[in-house]
Structure 1
Amino acid sequence: MSAFSDALSVTTSGLKAQASRLRLLSENIANVDTPGYRRKTMPFRTDTGASGISRVEIGRVNLDRRALEQIHDPSHPLADETGRYDGSNVDLIIEIADAREAQRSYEANLKMFDQTRQMSSGLMELLRR
């Protein structure tokens, strides 16, 4: 049964990583119009434990260091003497594409989790006979 628990552990780590990624992407999308907001990114890495099974680990949240968009609006309270202020560096198209990718990865991990669970249940049924 160790192989089943290892498979469930790997898919669970993938589910947690993609859920965290979706949360971060939703924060970026929600703040696309927030002045001075910097896009957040989250790297993934693999962690091979003592059992030799690789799992997905979440890295530290990083802020995107690209330049902020300069917006010209002299009536804005944050505008300087030239009428400009710093917008955000979030690109909505990139965030939506990343969200779709994360959603598909989450769904793939969920299917693997479900298949592993069904295989485990099927094995238990066979052993009961």
Structure 2
Amino acid sequence: MSDLLKSLAVSASGMGAQAQRLRHVSENVANADTPGYHRKTVSFAAEMAQGHATGGVMTGPVTLDRSPLERVYDPGNPLADATGHYDGSNVDLVVEIADGREAQRSYDANLKMFDQARQMATSLLDLLRR
């Protein structure tokens, strides 16, 4: 029974990590037109308990993408310099959509694993009651 409970915890940690990833993707999409905005990325790391890997996943620190910002030509913009350019954001909407789909599919896979483990635990408890 403990292995079934462990699988519930592992899949729940995966869902939590992917949910945080989706939050950062949505922040990036929302700020795609914000001047000077750097894209946020999140990394994943194995969960550790008492020096041993639990099988779960946790999110690492959020980092800013340091790729160069897009130079936008708009001489009427108050942020424009003497050449009429200002720094836009480095968010690529195609990349964000792909990241969002990948995170959603990973979340769904973890949800299915969680549901399967829950159904197996329920079936086992029903068998033990008989």
TM-score, reference length from structure 1: 0.96
Instruction: For residues 13-48 of structure 1, give each alpha carbon's deviation from its aligned partner in whole angstroms, at most 9, with x where no partner exists.
Output: 100000000000000000000000000000001124
Instruction: Give, as a single letter, the amino acid of the residue that structure 2 aligns with 1:81.
Output: A
Query: Structure 2: how far apart are the matches of 1:83 and 1:62?
Result: 30
Query: Following the alignment from structure 2 to structure 1, what is the Cα–Cα distance between the partners of residues 53 and 28?
Result: 35
Question: Structure 2 CA distance, aligned partners of 1:53 and 1:40?
Answer: 27
Give, as a single letter, the amino acid of the residue that structure 2 aligns with 1:74. Answer: P
Partner of 1:20: 20
The match for 2:56 is 55
1:117 shift after superposition: 0.3
When structure 1 is superposed on structure 2, of 14-23 and 40-49 the one drifting more is 40-49
Give the direction of change, closer, same or farther, for the CA distance of 1:2–1:52 in structure 2 (3 Å limit).
farther
Find the residue that maps to 1:60 and give its secondary structure.
Answer: strand
Query: 1:48-87 to 2 correspondence within 5 Å?
Result: 48-50=48-50, 52-87=53-88
Instruction: Provide the secondary structure at the position in 1 that maps to 2:37.
Output: coil
Report if aligned partners of 2:46, 2:54 keep a CA contact under 8 Å in 1. no
**Structure 1: which 4+ aligned runs deviate by more than 3 Å?**
none
1:35 paired to 2:18: no
Paired amino acid for 1:93: V
What is the alpha-carbon distance in structure 2 between the residues aligned to residue 22 and residue 92 of structure 1? 14
Question: Is 1:4 aligned to 2:15, yes or no?
Answer: no
Deviation at 1:53, TM superposition (A): 2.5
Check 1:128–1:20 CA distance in 2 against 1; reply closer, same or farther (3 A cut).
same
Please give the root-mean-square deviation of Cα atoms over the aligned residues, in Å: 1.0
Task: Return 5+ residue gaps in structure 1 as ranges.
Answer: none
What whole-Å deviation, never above 9, does each CA across 1:54-113 have from its counterpart, x for those lacking one? 210111110000000000000011001100000000000000000000000000000000
Cα drift, residue 52 of structure 1: 4.7
Give the aligned partner of residue 89 of structure 2: 88
| Percent identical | 60
Higher strand share: 2
